[in-house]
A and B are shown apart, each in its own frame.
Chain A
Amino acid sequence: MRKVIMGNHALSYGAMLGRAQVIAAYPITPQTQVVELLSEMCADGTLAAKFIKVESEHSAMAACIGASVAGARTFTATSAQGLALMHEMLHWASGGRHPVVLGNINRAMAPGWSIWSDQNDSLSERDTGWMQFYCSSNQEVLDTTIQAFKIAEALYIPAMVVLDAFSLSHTYEVVDVPDLDKVDAFLPPFKPYARIDHRTPRAFNGLTGPENYMELRYKLQKDMERVPEMVEATGREYEKLFGRYLGAVDAYRCEDAETILVTSGTAGYTAHVAVDEMRKDGTKVGNFRIRMFRPFPFDIVRRVLLPAKKVAVVDRNISYGHHGMFAQEVKSALYGIPGAPAVFGFIAGLGGRDITPASFREVVETAAAHDRPAEEILWIGVKR
């Protein structure tokens, strides 16, 4: 059924259709509508789930983990300060192999106090062993959430569905909300690897010495390496049932591009508009929108970007003392390959500053004017 819903509600619908059984969440702008709608759905029976109104985000993730090891499918949502407060528990979810699904609304980290869009919150968690999917439309948010449950539970790795504050979370778009029975056919009930069961008592997470820890973590990495294949297979299966395909990346007009933009989130769709405009002027430019950031899609990145002359990464984030995090990872994928394109690292849109088609024009013009980037970081839109 087609509905006009905001990005946040697309997350709620995703969790509802995914039949989340336990939800533990704490309010934070701009996530609140996610949990408000889920609260209503639990209250009126649309969703048969327990909704735990926890007293902090740290407790939210702890409760999700507890529910997961009890055998339930779990979901939560948060943003910025809340995600940061959960940090310890994000490590716990992945190390404990609990397939929790979390919706994160990308919001700038304080101080200065900001509620607007910026990717530092989720990217600060890129090392925690979670899958990360960056969405650019409300439809994508809903579809990604449903698929996230399936992929997470197949490999016992938690998954983060990421959307921009306000430009996605609060923007209303037409979304095709699938029927529950069709989703049931796609997403079977959660089959835990092991759960709390008095018939088979176990101690989970006992003291682990150096003789055992490395193998546990090796196995997590090996399962992470199976994710790209799973994302592709799940995306194709979803396409068969619902008519929409989502891959690890969205490569737009990259085949003959001399300059390829690398983008994510809502800026990724703004870049599509900019690419179309610039193509009209004869500029051979394409947009490579990364959806699956963790695990990093090395193979596809190499395949699509290597033929280009220049790559212009636009990061809505920064790793202080280094540079934009998508740029870091793209560079690492292209490192050492003869003939690899020059990678220009742009930073734009921090703290919710608008990224417009004009921003992308500036990016492409800057890249065109230099063989190699003049600086590690090329700042867009800073008042200097």
Chain B
Amino acid sequence: MSQEKKMKLTLPLEEYVGSGNLACQGCGANLALRYTLKALGPKTVLCIPACCWAVIDGPFPHSCLSVSIYHCAFETAASTATGIKAGLDMLGDTDMNVVSWAGDGGTLDIGIQALSGAAERNDDIIYVCYDNEAYMNTGIQRSSATPKGAWTTTTPVKFPKVEPKKDIDAIMAAHRIPYQATASIAYPEDLYKKMLKAKSIKGTRFVHILAPCPTGWKSRPEDSVKLARMAVQNRIFPLYEVEHGEKYTLNIKVQNKKPIDDYLKLQGRFRHLKPADIEALQADVDRNWERILKKAQGC
């Protein structure tokens, strides 16, 4: 009988994200923060700009988290966090993790100046971008993280996004920060390990987490983890780390890549794509993969 068998837990039991929060069913951003806080622990403050998590934690005077949050202005996730870290240091709370917790819009678009400034100064913060690939909190408008061809309210089918997804990871590598990584909610142990590693390093650390959004991707809520896994398995979202902008480590060397069709098929935001569009996207994915592979091999 299985009474003897213990529940296998690959992550610590302690939760810092509470139930009763306002996230949609199947929210990838919830899982992203859940795993992040399991690694960073209670001595953490999150600096959250306008994004889904600005609302998910619940309205004043409530919060679903058991760590501190400072909700900050949209473009200031990095600059406010820098100030928080400086202030805490001056008060002797030098072992607090100061984390910017921002969406893709607040990171790649409006927040990029502050992020670049903090990275250039090597400010001692962990900047996490949970990427659901559009301005989801305001109702699914395109951001520079929206993939080419994806439907959003501002890139309707007749007026599609022709620009590729802005490569924020390459931009951060150019800043030569001590540590950065990509992660996916479908690989929680990998994300957890990366957060532990980030926690142990001083200076600017950047983690880019793919967090599927059923509401904005027009996918089924139960598919959020599956999509986050497929994105890695078909090489759309490679999982890798970079140190000082030079040393690339590819964490999952996908050998038999899956074509992107199955991934795209599960999302209504790609439903309108024609075979030629998908072929072009596949070529982009392959090219990007080769580029990351080359960097990981030290070329």
- For chain B, the count of residues having a C-beta within 8 Å of the partner chain is 48
Q: Assess the A196–B68 pair: CB atoms within 8 A.
A: yes
Q: Assess the A201–B65 pair: CB atoms within 8 A.
A: yes
Cα distance, A196 to B61, chains bound together (Å): 16
Q: Determine whether B88 belongs to the interface, using a CB cutoff of 8 Å to chain A.
A: yes
Q: Determine whether B289 belongs to the interface, using a CB cutoff of 8 Å to chain A.
A: no
Cα distance, A4 to B211, chains bound together (Å): 60
Q: Determine whether A147 belongs to the interface, using a CB cutoff of 8 Å to chain B.
A: no
Q: Assess the A65–B83 pair: CB atoms within 8 A.
A: yes
Q: Assess the A198–B76 pair: CB atoms within 8 A.
A: no
Q: Determine whether A208 belongs to the interface, using a CB cutoff of 8 Å to chain B.
A: yes
Q: Assess the B79–A59 pair: CB atoms within 8 A.
A: yes
Q: Assess the B58–A206 pair: CB atoms within 8 A.
A: yes
Q: Determine whether B157 belongs to the interface, using a CB cutoff of 8 Å to chain A.
A: no
Cα distance, A71 to B76, chains bound together (Å): 19
Contact A69 B70, CB 8 Å, known A50-B86, A207-B59: yes
Chain A residues near B47 (CB-CB < 8 A): 66
Contact A89 B71, CB 8 Å, known A56-B117, A70-B84, A212-B61: no
Q: Determine whether B51 belongs to the interface, using a CB cutoff of 8 Å to chain A.
A: no
Cα distance, A312 to B123, chains bound together (Å): 52
Q: Determine whether B91 belongs to the interface, using a CB cutoff of 8 Å to chain A.
A: yes
Q: Assess the B90–A59 pair: CB atoms within 8 A.
A: no
Q: Assess the A66–B63 pair: CB atoms within 8 A.
A: no
Q: Determine whether B260 belongs to the interface, using a CB cutoff of 8 Å to chain A.
A: no
Inter-chain CB contacts under 8 Å: number: 169
Q: Determine whether B296 belongs to the interface, using a CB cutoff of 8 Å to chain A.
A: no
Q: Nearest Cβ distance between residue B85 and chain A, in whole angstroms?
A: 8
Hey, what's the 0/1 contact readout for A60-93 against B, CB within 8 Å counting as 1?
Answer: 1011111111111010000000000000110010
Contact A203 B83, CB 8 Å, known A22-B90, A62-B114: no
Question: Which secondary structure dominates where chain B touches chain A?
Answer: mixed
Q: Determine whether B120 belongs to the interface, using a CB cutoff of 8 Å to chain A.
A: yes
Contact A204 B58, CB 8 Å, known A22-B87, A55-B116: no
CB contact list, A164-212 vs B, under 8 A: 195-198, 201-209, 212
Query: Closest residue of chain A to B89, judged by CB?
Result: A50
Q: Assess the B83–A204 pair: CB atoms within 8 A.
A: no
Q: Nearest Cβ distance between residue A198 and chain B, in whole angstroms?
A: 5
Q: Assess the A206–B59 pair: CB atoms within 8 A.
A: yes
Contact A65 B80, CB 8 Å, known A56-B117, A196-B45, A206-B57: yes
Chain B residues near A372 (CB-CB < 8 A): none
Contact A66 B60, CB 8 Å, known A22-B87, A72-B86, A196-B88: no
- For chain A, the count of residues having a C-beta within 8 Å of the partner chain is 42
Q: Assess the A208–B60 pair: CB atoms within 8 A.
A: yes
Cα distance, A56 to B44, chains bound together (Å): 27
Chain B residues near A202 (CB-CB < 8 A): 63, 68-69
| Among candidates B63, B79, B86, B91, residue contacting A203 with C-beta atoms closer than 8 Å | B63
Cα distance, A132 to B121, chains bound together (Å): 32
Hey, what's the 0/1 contact readout for B67-111 against A, CB within 8 Å counting as 1?
Answer: 111111101101111111111111101001000000000000000
Q: Determine whether B267 belongs to the interface, using a CB cutoff of 8 Å to chain A.
A: no
Cα distance, A39 to B85, chains bound together (Å): 19
| Among candidates B45, B55, B88, residue contacting A207 with C-beta atoms closer than 8 Å | B55
Q: Nearest Cβ distance between residue A74 and chain B, in whole angstroms?
A: 7
Query: Closest residue of chain A to B84, judged by CB?
Result: A66
Chain B residues near A196 (CB-CB < 8 A): 45, 68, 70, 84, 87-88, 93, 96
Contact A70 B86, CB 8 Å, known A89-B73, A196-B68: yes
A197, A205, A206 — most chain B CB neighbours (10 Å): A206
| Among candidates B61, B63, B84, residue contacting A69 with C-beta atoms closer than 8 Å | B84
Q: Assess the B117–A55 pair: CB atoms within 8 A.
A: yes
Query: Closest residue of chain A to B57, judged by CB?
Result: A203
- Please give the residue numbers on chain A whose beta carbons come within 8 Å of chain B beta carbons, in ascending order: 21-22, 24, 49-50, 52-56, 58-60, 62-72, 74, 88-89, 92, 195-198, 201-209, 212
The 5 A-B pairs with the shortest beta carbon distances in the complex, nearest first, are: A66-B83, A70-B87, A63-B83, A55-B117, A67-B87
- Please give the residue numbers on chain B whose beta carbons come within 8 Å of chain A beta carbons, in ascending order: 42-45, 47, 54-55, 57-63, 65-73, 75-76, 78-91, 93, 96, 113-114, 116-117, 120-121, 123
